[in-house]
Structure 1
Amino acid sequence: MEIRKLDLNASAAPQIFPEEMEAVRAAGFRTVVNNRPDGEEPGQPAGEEIERAARDAGLAYHFVPVGRDPLTAAQLDEMADALAGNGPALLFCRSGTRSTTLWAFAEARRGRDISELVSLAAQAGYDLAPLEPALRQVAG
C-alpha cells in the first residue's frame, strides 16, 4: 500500500483492498474515503466490500466517486464532510490523483491557501499546478 501524506488530516493512495483495512487503521487513519466509481476497471473491489471491511476495522467510510465529469458542488461538500470527520483520512482512487484533486478543491472552497495546497500536493507527488486557476475560482 502506497500512502502519500497530503497534510495532517489527509493522505492519498492508489486502490486499496478490503484485506488492507487493519493496516490502514494501524497506520493511524480513522476514515477511508473511496473516490473510485464502482466498475471502473476489471478486478476492482466493489465499494460495498471496501466499506464492510473498513467498518469491520472500526473505520468511518465515505463514498465520493469521481469519474470523468467535472467536479460538482455536491462532491466538494461530501469530501469536506468526510475530511471533517473523526481523524486522519485515507483517500483513494485508481492512482491517488483524483483523490488529491478533490481534496484540494474541497480545501480551497473552505478558504485554504491555494499555493499551499498546490505545494502540499507536489510534495506528495501530485502536480496540481495546471489546476491552480480553477482552484482560485472555487475559492472565490
Structure 2
Amino acid sequence: MNITQLSPTFKVSPQITVDDVTEAKEQGIAVIVCNRPDGESDDQIPAADIRRACESAGIKFVELPMNGPNYSPEQVSTLKSLIDDGSNILAYCRTGNRSSILYNATQGSN
C-alpha cells in the first residue's frame, strides 16, 4: 500500500485491494473509508469486496463516494464524526486526492 499520513490518526491511499485490508489491520487501522464511486474503471475493486474484507477483519467500512473534488456537507460531517471518535482511519480513492480533499474540508468545520 502507498499510504500518506495526514494526521496521527488519518491516512490516505490510492485504491486498495482485498489483501491490503489485512495489512491495514496489522497497522492498527480501525476504519476504512471509500471515497471512490464504483465503476470508475474496469480494473477497480468494487467497494462491496473491500467491505466484505473489512467485515472479516473487524474493520469498520464507510462509503463516502465523491465525484471529482466535489463533496457534500453530509460527507464532511460524517468524516468529521469518524475523526472525532479518535479511531485510526484509512481513506482511499483512485489516487488518494479526493480522500485528502475531504479530510481537509473536515479541518475547517466545527
With the length of structure 2 as denominator, give the TM-score of the two structures.
0.92
Secondary structure of 2:81's aligned partner: helix
Question: Cα deviations across residues 85-123 of structure 1 (Å, max 9, x unaligned)?
Answer: 46110010001010000001012113xxxxxxxxxxxxx
The alignment status of 1:51 with 2:73, answered yes or no, reads no
Unaligned runs of 5+ in 1: 111-140
Unaligned runs of 5+ in 2: none
What is the aligned-residue RMSD (CA, Å)? 1.4
Q: Rg bigger for which structure?
A: 1
Residue of structure 2 equivalent to 1:15: 15
Secondary structure of 2:101's aligned partner: helix
Secondary structure of 1:12's aligned partner: strand
Once residues 76 and 104 of structure 1 are traced to their aligned partners in structure 2, the CA distance between those partners, rounded to angstroms, is: 9
One-letter code aligned to 1:48: A
The alignment status of 1:76 with 2:76, answered yes or no, reads yes
The alignment status of 1:42 with 2:78, answered yes or no, reads no
Higher strand share: 2
Superposed, which structure 2 residues align to 1:1-140 within 5 Å? 1-68=1-68, 70-85=70-85, 87-110=87-110
Secondary structure of 1:53's aligned partner: helix
1:69 to partner: Cα distance: 6.5
How many positions carry a matched residue from both structures? 110
Once residues 39 and 59 of structure 2 are traced to their aligned partners in structure 1, the CA distance between those partners, rounded to angstroms, is: 23
Question: Cα deviations across residues 21-73 of structure 1 (Å, max 9, x unaligned)?
Answer: 11010011111000000111111011111011011111111100011373211
Name the structure, 1 or 2, with higher relative contact order (CA <8 Å, separation 6+): 2
1:83 to partner: Cα distance: 2.1
